[in-house]
Amino acid sequence: MTSRNLSVAVDIGGTFTDIVVADGAQFLDQEKILSTPDDYSRAIQEGLERLFARARILPSEIGLVVHGTTIATNAIIEGRGATTALLTTEGFADVLELRRMRVPELYNFNYEKPSPLVPRRRRHEARERLSADGAVITPLDMVRLRATLQEVAAQSVDALAICFLHAYANGIHEQRAQEEAERILGDKVYITSSHRILPEIREYERTSTTVLNAYVAPVVRAYLLRIVGVLSELGVTAPLRIMQSNGGVLGVEAVLRIPATIVESGPAAGVVGGAMITRRLTPSNAITIDMGGTTAKASLIENGHVIKTSEYEVGSGINVSSQLVKGRGHALRLPVIDVSEIGAGGGSLARIDTTGRLRVGPESAGAAPGPACYGRGGKVATLTDAMVILGYISDVGIAGGTVPVDRRLAEQVISEQIAQPLKTDVLAAAHGIYLVAAAVMTRAVKAVTTYRGRDPRDFALVAFGGNGALMAPQIAESLQVRRIVVPPLPGVFSACGLLVAPTERELARTIFERLAKISEHQLKSWLTDLADKAIQQLLADGCSRKLITVRYMADLRYAGQAYELTINVTPAPSGAFSLDELARAFHEEHNRTYGHSAAGEPVVLVSVRVVAQEPAPIAEMPRISLRHESAYPSSPTRELYFGRDHGLRQAPVLGRGALRSAGVLSGPLVVEEYDATTLIPPGWRARVDADVNIVLDRMEGQDGSA
């Protein structure tokens, strides 16, 4: 066997752990194995062992292992994080629990507020005070501090978060308190200070982020050490990189410095993969749709880049627009790929509500009992049941027939629960469920487009996940999107995304000064200092200086506003940064996003930001060969229902390779693969492009009505 340079990606989801191996840029093999939530490393070990045996992989052939994990998110959602204490400025121990007050739903007497991650008994105060400009008003009282830290020690905590007022402006008191805490509590307690995690104004958001960091740190550390152990047991010596919430990967040591950076790594890899696909499209703009069993996630790719936000709530379950509906989870103000998530997936329950309207989700049948048609005890109609009746999903079985499907069970629940109350037939009811689910998902897409002043018609949809390519056509219809791209391996697309994610460090510094009072020299020195720091950290993580690229950004707003817009700063060939250009770009982006701007108003530079990256060794999504596809489809044709306008249509069912051979085919047809199905409705035509994507184009003259 010739020597290979293999990369391995391990992506843990709620139901499945996906493992993908590529040789250079060539996809080699995949393994889908049920996750083992009591100890995720078990499924990883077993999956790798199986894969190594089947694909005859020698551990020494592996050059890189990339891992995406929901371990931190799960710890927060399930309340299984570290026993954490919090030290605050005197008078402000309750900031964490008072939060921002707003309730995420109107008119609900029975609203339940999330419990604080640190209860009041473990929230302690220090006598100290800074002013907004960082000046010391009350010096840190060391005598009292020591007594307080003794109380903390007596509470046998695993972690301590320190967050003092205005520490973003001056970290001196936090620094001293941290040193004293390290001395008194010893190295068994993880200690973290806000000025190191998030030197940004707004005390609740900073406190919450620091607490989250402390809360997940011991869990993340133990977990990553276990993964390192599994790999070494298998003889794998390649470096391990971990996916962060911002779409970049980092080494284990770097992640353990700020473990909160991996809290939202779950959805990130799919979006990174989507960006990679989008870069090869013209124009390079797309909306990614990732839809599995319980939720749908939409994200925006502009000019091939993912969009990030630092306004996020973790553990908030599902929301349409995290920007407006605050208060469901715990604030996390670290850069996160901006994903709008909504409770609509294959397992979403359909029902008639008390007012007689048809609703789909957000409740889900999950993996157990699952949709009724799986015959595993599911008694409530789901979206999957509807799609089986409509013929969109094979009624022979899914996942290559490993999960059998019983169409009669689907018909029974939809007939009883939906069709009869609506006084309609089963087909119309099933189609209604499909349309309502698409309408709900459309809100998620709007949240990342029209809510930001972006017209979805300027974007393609990149659809993946088990159900993404079934729902995308209807979403595209309602938003008048003209193109849908379904990449290869849609069912393990997130794992593939891990392989192409860059190693990345993002650093920011709060400036809070009017542009008019800043010199270009200052701007340049802030940005280059920050870049140097980020580059140093990447070098320490094993990156090569020659491969590192840096992007510069500035967060700006009009004086008096509360929310910034992030503007790219491009240095001139001379290396200079133009303030005029920055201001112009800000006015333009403000007008684009909000529909108004005010050129005469003073503009404030809130912070500067750099992203330093080393690209992944694989520069494109892994290529596949289509040799295994002869096992599909499940049947040569089947009957599909497309609503009253198009009615029941006999449609061919074929594999991706057959579609490629056929050239361009018009809908209706279905492309069936091992773990995903692509629906091509009437009015659309499909082909397979050079990258083996299925590309759906809406035919001219379609008015978009369904």
Instruction: Return the range that interacts with other proteins (CB under 8 A); candidates 241-249, 300-308, 442-450, 489-497.
Output: 442-450
Instruction: Please count the CA atoms within 13 angstroms of the CA of 463 that sit on its side-chain side.
Output: 29
Among 11, 44, 71, 99, binds other proteins (CB under 8 A): 99
Pairing of strands 565-569, 460-464: unpaired
Q: Hey, which residues between 192 and 251 contact other proteins (CB under 8 A)?
A: 201-205
Closest CA to 489 of 465, 461, 460, 462: 465
**Site membership for other proteins, residue 583 (CB under 8 A):** no
Q: Hey, which residues between 449 and 508 contact other proteins (CB under 8 A)?
A: 450-451, 453, 478
Q: Hey, which residues between 107 and 146 contact other proteins (CB under 8 A)?
A: 107-113, 119-121, 131-132, 137
Pairing of strands 159-163, 190-193: parallel
Q: How many residues bind other proteins (CB under 8 A)?
A: 81
Q: CA 270, 484, 345 angle in degrees (round to 5)?
A: 55
- The single-letter DSSP state of residue 444 is H
**Site membership for other proteins, residue 94 (CB under 8 A):** yes
CB of 486 or CB of 556, closer to other proteins = 556
> What is the rounded distance in angstroms from the CA atom of residue 118 to the CA atom of residue 94?
10
- Supply the minimum distance, in Å, between the C-beta of residue 310 and other proteins: 14
Instruction: Return the range that interacts with other proteins (CB under 8 A); candidates 20-28, 46-54, 367-375, 592-600.
Output: 592-600
Among 34, 98, 147, 368, binds other proteins (CB under 8 A): 98
> What is the rounded distance in angstroms from the CA atom of residue 467 to the CA atom of residue 476?
14
What are the residues whose beta carbons fall under 8 Å from the beta carbon of 244, sequence distance 6 or more?
250, 255, 261, 262, 265, 268, 504
CB of 166 or CB of 505, closer to other proteins = 166
**Site membership for other proteins, residue 147 (CB under 8 A):** no
Q: Hey, which residues between 620 and 649 contact other proteins (CB under 8 A)?
A: 644
* Per-residue x/- track, 549-578, other proteins (CB under 8 A): ---------xxxxxx---------------
* Per-residue x/- track, 508-537, other proteins (CB under 8 A): ----x-------------------------
CB of 359 or CB of 660, closer to other proteins = 359
**Site membership for other proteins, residue 338 (CB under 8 A):** no
**Site membership for other proteins, residue 165 (CB under 8 A):** yes
> What is the rounded distance in angstroms from the CA atom of residue 585 to the CA atom of residue 596?
14
Among 21, 66, 76, 95, binds other proteins (CB under 8 A): 95
**Site membership for other proteins, residue 699 (CB under 8 A):** no
- Supply the minimum distance, in Å, between the C-beta of residue 679 and other proteins: 18
CB of 53 or CB of 562, closer to other proteins = 562
Residue 371, preceding peptide bond in cis (omega within 30° of 0): no
- Supply the minimum distance, in Å, between the C-beta of residue 319 and other proteins: 10
Cβ-contact 688, 485 below 8 angstroms: no
**Site membership for other proteins, residue 701 (CB under 8 A):** no
Q: Hey, which residues between 168 and 187 contact other proteins (CB under 8 A)?
A: 168
Cβ-contact 422, 505 below 8 angstroms: no
Q: DSSP per residue over 263-317, as a string?
A: TT-TTHHHHHHHHHHHHTSSS--EEEEEE-SS-EEEEEEETTEE-EES-EEET--
* C-beta atoms surrounding 496 within 10 Å: 30
**Site membership for other proteins, residue 442 (CB under 8 A):** yes
The residues pairing with 613 across neighbouring beta strands, listed in sequence order, are 504, 549
Closest CA to 279 of 7, 500, 552: 500
Among 43, 51, 93, 485, binds other proteins (CB under 8 A): 93
CB of 54 or CB of 100, closer to other proteins = 100
